[in-house]
Amino acid sequence: MEWINYHHLLYFWTVVRAGSIGRASEQLRLAPPTISAQLRSLETSLGEKLLTRSARGVQPTEVGQVVYRYAEDIFALGREMLDTVKGRPTGHPLQVVIGIADVLPKEISHALIEPALQLREQVQITCREDNQEHLLAELAIQELDVVLSDTPIGPPAKVRAYNHLLGECGMTFFATPELFRKYSRRFPKVLHGAPLLLPADNTNVRRALDQWFDAQQIRPFVVGQFEDFALLRRFGETGAGIFAVPSVLERLFRKERKLRVVGRADAVRNRFYAISVERKLKHPAVVAICETARHELFS
């Protein structure tokens, strides 16, 4: 009986989805020559040419399109099998691997993930932090169960995945007591010329803040821009400037950080998503994350 090499099929499937061997090699973490050799082995075993080169990369041949559709079904069934097995009681901890977009504040990540540890059965979580593009590549090859992000996956994405909205909130501006005494009146106009600490300009929240500043005709004095929210927060706690956090964290910051609320911008919306390859979530830990976020954290 003839058997297909499913590793070779996975490489072919990934190359078609990625559009090139180079991008597929990054997702699979294999050298391009290795992938090319495995693809030739798959073509030899099937007796058909599966890929052709074009100006846009590689494209499946007519037979390659047929093989790709079968591969889609095969790996979809594989994901369902893993979900079923992971969800069954086995005496071992339930495993869940979570990708976290590196722009998410750690406090948000913790609040979202914590419900997974409150399940009746024992759960073991693995968290991987990276930029969203790399996380989605890992999600595509089933290295992750879910990705948590403030940015939904868009139509041009090569990864076939689904957005699950967890919730949304506005922004709250905080300052140390010393800064608060100086900038506590006539919000938001008081922010005009005030020292502000802002997220980096390549983030969704920064773009939303900039649009809001323009609408309010506010030109703050930007003291610093940060990709790392923890570092931004640290500078804010030491009085370097006023800074904004998602309003869902307002109670935490008022209680633990001894900071004062300068004002709120409800029009600046923060949206948070769980991204998965499933339209309907099945993994118990991922379901717990989503349900708690919707009904408690962002209710």
Among candidate residues 148, 179, 159, the one with its CA nearest the CA of residue 258:
179
**What digits encode the pLDDT tens for the residues 110-133?**
999 999 999 888 889 999 999 888
Structure tokens at 229: 């929210």
Cβ(67)–Cβ(74) under 8 Å? Answer: no
Q: Which amino acid is at 92?
A: H
CATH no., domain 87-167+272-297: 3.40.190.10
* Residue given tokens 């100006």 in the structure block: 55
**What digits encode the pLDDT tens for the residues 204-244?**
899 999 999 999 999 999 999 998 888 999 999 999 999 99
What confidence score (pLDDT) does residue 157 get?
A: 61
> Prior bond to 32 cis, omega within 30?
no
Axis-axis angle for helices 62-86, 6-18 (nearest 10): 110
Q: CATH class for domain 6-85?
A: mainly alpha
* Residue given tokens 């501006």 in the structure block: 173
Domain 168-270 belongs to what topology?
D-Maltodextrin-Binding Protein; domain 2 (3.40.190)
Read off the pLDDT band of 86 (50, 70, 90).
low
pLDDT at residue 87 is higher than 60: no
Task: For residue 185, give the 3-state DSSP assignment.
Answer: coil
Q: What is the largest CA-CA distance in the chain?
A: 80
User: Are 6-85 and 87-167+272-297 the same fold in CATH?
Assistant: no
Cβ(143)–Cβ(82) under 8 Å? Answer: no
pLDDT at residue 95 is higher than 70: yes
Domain residue spans of the chain:
6-85, 87-167+272-297, 168-270
